[in-house]
Amino acid sequence: MKIKLISPKMTLRPMDSEFKRAMSPSLALLVLGALTPVEHDVTMEDENVGKLNLDDLPDLVGISVNVDTSLRAYEISKHYRSQGIKVILGGIHVSANPNEALAFADAVCIGEAEEIWIQILSDVQTGDLKQKYYNARPTDLSLTPIPKWDLIDKSKYLYTNVVVTSRGCPFHCEFCYNSCEYVHHWFRNRPIKNALEEIRALGTRQVMFIDDNFIGNIGWTKEFLRQIRPLNLTWHAAVSANIVHYPGLLDEMKDAGCESLFIGFETINEASLKSAGKHQNNVKSYEKLIREIHARGIMINASLVFGFDGDDPAVFEKTLKWLVKNKIETMTAHILTPYPGTKIYQRLKSESRIVDIEPAHYNTSFAVFSPNKMTRQQLRRGYLKIYRDFYSIKNIIKRLPDDRSQRVPYLLFNFVYRKFGKIASRIAGFGLMDRLSKWARRLSYGIE
């Protein structure tokens, strides 16, 4: 069979550049490619880095869908189905909202695909495609294959060194898709030897771990760190703020090559944290955590959310001061967004507070609900302003890391990716993305 896998074009927030779309290919589709038996002819097209060829006639089309790409995915699906081609949709948004998605496709995959993809392909071949595919148990992650990287043109992406070592998260914050009931979210790690094999196959010494929570099982993380140390990698990962209780783990991370950590601080407002059910975070220990991380020469990407029930318009100025004072190297901010299927969606819906249902607005840069202590306009304006202010030249200079070894990657990210990202990404174009990132790595860490 001819199988075509598609990643629909994502929406950009006002502060985003084409770098966002070219950041990395869909790992989900590369995994599906790897799961596909060799007798099939599998291809992948990513609308984020080029135009889709919609004139072809594959036997099966598979599309990976997030909430903000859902309308485009449904459009693409409609096009193929009008020609009698079978379309299956999967991914986070479809898994959380299978009935909605099924109205636009022949079949949907709810949750992980590893244990059901072969069955789906065989059902297409025998003309017996079911409407819903759902793996009743959490996937055994030893079955996750090495992604089929040769499906894509690597030159079009900034990062083709992304690795997942786990699925799920031990926590279930109200606003996160990990709060959805649809499928198994409990935390699982891959066998260490599989993750190591994947890293070696990448052929690079710089790796981005894109797990929800790299420290979901600290025993596993410690053993993994011990085993990657001899590889002399530099790497980046996302961890929960409870890492403050494990200073020894931070030492081991630095020894194993950690350069930066993405941390979901979410808010410096205690009442807001409580309202989000984020009990593992403690605002009082945030500054200690930052000191511990910086002391080890690791940079911080602070993830923040604005619009919690405890937030009023003063939250933006307070947070900006806090970020600058603590010399946070990079910030990723979001307007609280009730993704359909999450606990917060159910709550805000029951309170009749969801006022914008345009899926393309669910990319965390729109106030799609009525906030508690400010207007939607105040929330959006404050969010746009904190981005502008945080990445102003004055504040980039004020936040310059004390650790000299971090200054080059710091300046590259702040200026080339954020401040002048729109121009820089246009100059780089899609064909030069990998060269740009190799150049950045060489300048920052002396490796490719």
Q: Where do contacts with ligand SF4 occur on this chain (CB under 6 A)? A: 169, 171-173, 176, 178, 212-213, 240, 264
Binding segment for ligand B12 (CB under 6 A), chosen from 67-75, 267-275, 292-300, 435-443, is 67-75
Residue 317 CA neighbour count, 13 Å, CB half:
4
Give least dist CB 115 to ligand B12, A. Answer: 9
* Alpha-helical segments (H) within 90-246: 92-96, 98-102, 117-125, 192-202, 218-228
By C-alpha distance, which of 251, 253, 173, 158 is closest to 214?
Answer: 253
Q: What does each C-alpha distance from 373 to 113, 308, 364 come to in angstroms? A: 42, 9, 18
| Distance, first Cα to last Cα, the chain | 38
What whole-number distance in Å separates Cα of residue 171 and Cα of residue 180? 12
By C-alpha distance, which of 284, 241, 291 is closest to 262?
Answer: 241
In the list ligand SF4, ligand B12, none, the entry touching 25 (Cβ below 5 to 8 angstroms by class) is: ligand B12
Question: What is the number of H-type helices and E-type strands within the chain?
Answer: 18, 14
SS3 369: strand
Give the residue with the Cβ less far from ligand B12, 129 or 268: 129
What whole-number distance in Å separates Cα of residue 297 and Cα of residue 194? 29
Give least dist CB 368 to ligand SF4, A. Answer: 18
Give least dist CB 304 to ligand B12, A. Answer: 11
Give the residue with the Cβ less far from ligand B12, 15 or 256: 15
Nearest 5°: the CA angle 102, 364, 165 is 75
Q: What does each C-alpha distance from 244 to 116, 265, 300 come to in angstroms? A: 39, 12, 13
Phi and psi, residue 46, nearest 5°: -120, 110
Give least dist CB 212 to ligand SF4, A. Answer: 4
Q: Which of 66, 189, 272, 425 binds ligand B12 (CB under 6 A)?
A: 66
Give least dist CB 442 to ligand B12, A. Answer: 23
Q: Which of 44, 49, 67, 289 binds ligand B12 (CB under 6 A)?
A: 67
Touching ligand B12, residues 159-178 (CB under 6 A): 164, 176-177
The number of residues that bind ligand B12 (CB under 6 A) is 39
27: contact with ligand B12 by CB under 6 A: yes
SS3 71: helix
28: contact with ligand B12 by CB under 6 A: yes
Within 194-311, strands assigned E span 206-209, 234-239, 258-266, 299-306
Write the binding mask 36 to 65 for ligand B12: x where contact by CB under 6 A, - elsewhere.
--------------------------xxx-
Binding segment for ligand B12 (CB under 6 A), chosen from 5-13, 262-270, 349-357, 405-413, is 5-13
146: contact with ligand B12 by CB under 6 A: no
Q: Which residue's Cβ lies closest to ligand B12?
A: 90
Give least dist CB 309 to ligand B12, A. Answer: 19
Binding segment for ligand B12 (CB under 6 A), chosen from 105-113, 286-294, 297-305, 379-387, is 105-113
Largest CA distance in the chain: 64
In the list ligand SF4, ligand B12, none, the entry touching 173 (Cβ below 5 to 8 angstroms by class) is: ligand SF4
CB 297 within 8 A of CB 405: yes
Q: Which of 76, 109, 379, 436 binds ligand B12 (CB under 6 A)?
A: 109
68: contact with ligand B12 by CB under 6 A: yes
In the list ligand B12, ligand SF4, none, the entry touching 17 (Cβ below 5 to 8 angstroms by class) is: none
CB 63 within 8 A of CB 306: no
Give least dist CB 171 to ligand SF4, A. Answer: 4
Q: Which of 18, 45, 114, 311 binds ligand B12 (CB under 6 A)?
A: 114
Residue 85 CA neighbour count, 13 Å, CB half:
22
In the list ligand B12, ligand SF4, none, the entry touching 264 (Cβ below 5 to 8 angstroms by class) is: ligand SF4
Give the residue with the Cβ less far from ligand SF4, 149 or 182: 182
